[in-house]
Structures are given as structure tokens and as C-alpha cells.
């Protein structure tokens, strides 16, 4: 970057000013700025943040316990009222308390499963493509097998066996089951991206400089597909959350503990539909739909960031800056 370039054309100048500002702000703030500038990512993240806050601040938001012996605060299922804004369950538990505390369980399982699954995806996808040969053959076979086997039935088999094996029905088991059944798709996507990246010149250059293999993979190749990793992470999160709620809905989780899935399990068990008790199943389902929708929105945004051709126009701030420079010039 030569200083003499400054001022040759307004666009370049703006780009240079931007770069200087970016260096000044440091990487973390930079990433935040980049994310907040994209309206889809910002909207999605705000919705997600609200749910995380609700989960964390659950004891402040509601005086009622969600489950346990003291959770019966009303007589049976009551429709929403000022006292219980989302009504009460058949056991007389406060629905809003269950939703708020349940968000902890559901979001945590989704988070753990998606994070673990992404680590597996990166490990399998990158090493399969980078090493090639026999390793690639074996890993690809494994990836493809997991890809074609139906995920939810496999998860049902695993979860129901685990719940009987003495480990009990708990969140950890569900998270592990989801991790195990969700990694294949992302691994395949990352593998094909790595296959094209490893032929690039900067990788060859790094190799001829005698870099360690793990450094080549993790600090040369991986940073160049970070957008792809991010979008498969978000995609896996959506899958994990949906599948987690589904497994709990089937009664394969800990149904005595409040979570979005177990709320729906009890609603179905008590025939909430037949008796018309809509408040037993509408809130939990809406929460899942909102969180999944928000994450999908984030994914669209990531696509736009990584793929500038999808973006519609120059960002508003940059255009303003351009105009200001043009006037000065």
C-alpha cells in the first residue's frame, strides 16, 4: 500500500481511509461493524440476542419456578391472564416461566451440538480434501454414508438406547446424539471448497516455505473459507435446534425438566389440541420458529457478505462518504 496512491480517485481514497480506520479499530470491533452493517445479519442477531437475554434473565422476568415440586402455582391449565401471561400447563405450572427457563436448555443443546458438529466438519472436511489419496477415499465414504442415512431415525435409535443405558435421559446425551448425526453435510461442503483452495498459489507458496501441515490447514486454508464455516455453523444450529425439540417432543429427553421440546411433549400428551388449549403449544413452537427464522436470516446475510455479487447496492455509509469526497475534490 503506497501513500502516493492517495487521492488519485475517490473510490480508492475511500477504500484506503476505510482500511486505515479498520486497522485502527482492531479486529473485534471491525467484525462487529461488518456484521451490523448488513441488515439481515443485524436483524437476525438482535432476535437471537433477545432470546439469549430472556434465557439468562429468566429469574428476573418471572417469579415462578418452571419445574420441580414447587412449580404448581395454579389449578390445572388456565388460559392467559394478567397473572400468568401465557397461561398455565395442565400441572398448573406457569407457561412463561417454562418458556423462559426452557430457552436455556434448548439454546444450550443447540449451541453445544452445533459447535461440536462444526469442529467435526472442519476436521473431516479439511483433512479429507487436503491429504487426498486413501485418507480422502475413506473419509469421503464415511461422510457420504452419514449423508444418506436418515438422520432423525438414527437419532431416535441413539437417544432411546442411551436413555435406557443407565446414563439417564439428559441434555448431554441429546446434544451428543445431534452432534453425531449432523456433521456430514457441512463436512462435504467444506471438503469441496478445500479441494479448490488447496490448488491456489498462496498454499503452494506456504508449502514451499516449509510450513507445518497443521499450520497450512488451519492458518492458510481455514481462514479463507471462514464464511462457509460460519454459514454451515448457523445451518447446523438450525438443524440441531429443530431436531432437539423434535427428540424432546418424542419424550426422549428429560421430560420432567422444562424445555421447549418437553413443553410440546406434555401438550401433546394431555391432548391440548383436542381440548383447544392453544396456549400450551403455540408459544413454544413460535419461539423455535422465530429462533430458526432469525438464524436463517443471519445465513442469508453471511452469504451476501461472502458473495458481494448478491448484494444489491453500495452500502449507504460508503455512498455518503463517496459523495462527500467527490464534493471536496
Binding-site ranges for another protein (CB under 8 A): 141, 144-145, 147-154, 156-167, 185, 238, 242-243, 245-246, 249-252, 264, 268, 273-274, 276, 278, 281-282, 284-285, 288-289, 292-293, 295-296, 300
- Separation between Cα atoms, residue 113 and residue 172, nearest integer Å: 9
Report the nearest approach of another protein to the CB of residue 215 (Å): 33
Q: Closest CB to another protein among 47 and 318? A: 47
Burial status of residue 188 (CB atoms within 10 A of its CB: 0-12, 13-18, 19 or more): buried
Report the nearest approach of another protein to the CB of residue 18 (Å): 30
SS3 88: strand
- Separation between Cα atoms, residue 60 and residue 94, nearest integer Å: 15
Report the nearest approach of another protein to the CB of residue 60 (Å): 28
Residue among 103, 4, 235 nearest 12 (CA): 4
Q: Closest CB to another protein among 65 and 261? A: 261
**β-bridge partners, 32:** none
Residue among 108, 119, 127, 246 nearest 183 (CA): 119
Report the nearest approach of another protein to the CB of residue 54 (Å): 19
Report the nearest approach of another protein to the CB of residue 183 (Å): 14
Report the nearest approach of another protein to the CB of residue 77 (Å): 15
Q: Closest CB to another protein among 221 and 295? A: 295
Backbone φ and ψ for 66, nearest 5 degrees, come out as -80, -35
- The cell for 274 is 383436542
Q: Closest CB to another protein among 81 and 307? A: 307
Q: Closest CB to another protein among 55 and 176? A: 176
Backbone φ and ψ for 311, nearest 5 degrees, come out as -70, 145
Q: Closest CB to another protein among 219 and 307? A: 307
Q: Which residues of 319-329 are buried (b: 16+ CB within 10 A; e: fewer)?
A: eebeeebeeee
Q: Closest CB to another protein among 64 and 180? A: 180
- Separation between Cα atoms, residue 44 and residue 133, nearest integer Å: 41
Report the nearest approach of another protein to the CB of residue 117 (Å): 16
Amino acid at each position: 500500500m503506497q501513500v502516493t496512491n492517495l487521492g488519485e480517485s475517490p473510490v480508492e481514497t475511500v477504500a484506503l481511509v476505510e482500511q486505515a480506520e479498520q486497522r485502527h479499530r482492531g479486529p473485534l470491533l471491525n467484525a462487529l461493524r461488518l456484521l451490523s452493517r448488513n441488515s439481515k445479519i443485524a436483524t437476525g442477531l438482535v432476535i437471537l440476542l433477545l432470546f439469549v437475554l430472556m434465557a439468562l434473565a429468566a429469574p428476573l422476568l418471572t417469579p415462578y419456578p418452571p419445574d420441580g415440586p414447587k412449580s404448581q402455582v395454579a389449578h390445572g391449565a388456565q388460559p392467559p391472564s394478567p397473572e400468568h401471561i401465557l397461561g398455565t400447563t395442565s400441572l398448573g405450572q406457569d407457561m412463561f416461566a417454562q418458556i423462559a427457563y426452557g430457552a436455556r436448555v434448548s439454546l444450550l443443546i443447540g449451541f453445544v451440538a452445533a459447535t461440536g458438529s462444526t469442529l467435526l466438519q472442519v476436521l473431516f472436511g479439511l483433512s479429507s480434501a487436503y491429504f487426498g489419496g486413501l485418507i480422502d477415499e475413506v473419509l469421503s465414504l464415511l461422510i457420504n454414508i452419514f449423508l444418506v442415512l436418515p438422520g432423525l431415525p438414527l437419532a431416535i435409535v441413539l437417544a432411546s438406547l442411551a436413555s435406557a443405558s443407565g446414563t439417564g435421559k439428559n441434555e448431554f446425551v441429546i446434544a451428543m446424539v445431534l452432534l453425531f448425526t449432523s456433521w456430514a453435510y457441512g463436512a462435504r461442503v467444506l471438503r469441496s471448497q478445500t479441494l479448490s483452495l488447496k490448488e491456489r498459489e498462496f498454499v503452494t507458496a506456504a508449502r514451499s516455505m516449509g510450513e507445518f501441515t497443521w499450520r497450512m490447514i488451519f492458518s492458510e486454508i481455514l481462514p479463507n473459507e471462514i464464511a462457509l464455516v460460519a454459514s454451515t455453523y448457523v445451518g447446523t444450529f438450525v438443524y440441531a435446534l429443530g431436531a432437539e425439540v423434535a427428540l424432546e417432543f418424542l419424550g426422549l429427553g428429560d421430560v420432567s425438566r422444562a424445555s421447549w421440546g418437553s413443553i410440546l411433549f406434555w401438550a401433546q400428551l394431555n391432548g391440548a389440541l383436542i381440548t383447544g388449549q392453544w396456549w400450551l403449544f403455540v408459544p413454544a413452537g413460535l419461539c423455535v420458529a422465530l429462533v430458526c427464522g432469525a438464524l436463517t436470516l443471519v445465513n442469508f446475510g453471511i452469504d451476501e457478505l461472502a458473495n458481494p455479487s448478491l448484494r444489491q447496492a453500495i452500502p449507504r455509509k460508503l455512498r455518503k462518504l463517496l459523495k462527500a469526497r467527490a464534493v471536496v475534490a
